[in-house]
Structure 1
Amino acid sequence: MFGVSSINYPNLCCMLSDYGFEGHQLQKDLPLNGYVEVRYNDLEKRVVSEPNEMTQEFRYFDSASSWEHRSNG
């Protein structure tokens, strides 16, 4: 909220949050990417809100560590 100034507005937190925001504005438990993705759909000519999906495929790293082959000598 740095750089935001308003005259005679008692609650600056609500001024900066989204309409559908649930929770407390000043708590830091919201993930960096958020819970929903908001975008403009050009075909429907409206703003669409969808759940944010950040899936990552399973990766298996089969590389030997350089520390495993060292001898104690």
Structure 2
Amino acid sequence: MKKIEWLIAILLIIIGLTCLTVSGTTMWGTESMQSYFETFIFLCLWMGLPVVIIGIVYMIVLKKKDK
């Protein structure tokens, strides 16, 4: 991928996370910056956890396939 394509992909991910965070923050009725950052961290953890688990499983499968 070219650099501009990576930039567009990263921007779309950031925009999506921001929209999720704003909607989650306003849904619970608290609109402070602390609440915004807590929601953002919460969303990142729940979105990153499956990626880490799938990555670990993928590495294990690759190592077993090599042997």
User: TM-score scaled to structure 1, two decimals?
Assistant: 0.27
Give the structure with the larger helix fraction.
2
Tell which structure's C-alpha radius of gyration is larger: 1
Give the structure with the larger strand fraction.
1
Quick one: higher RCO (CA 8 Å, sep 6+), 1 or 2?
2
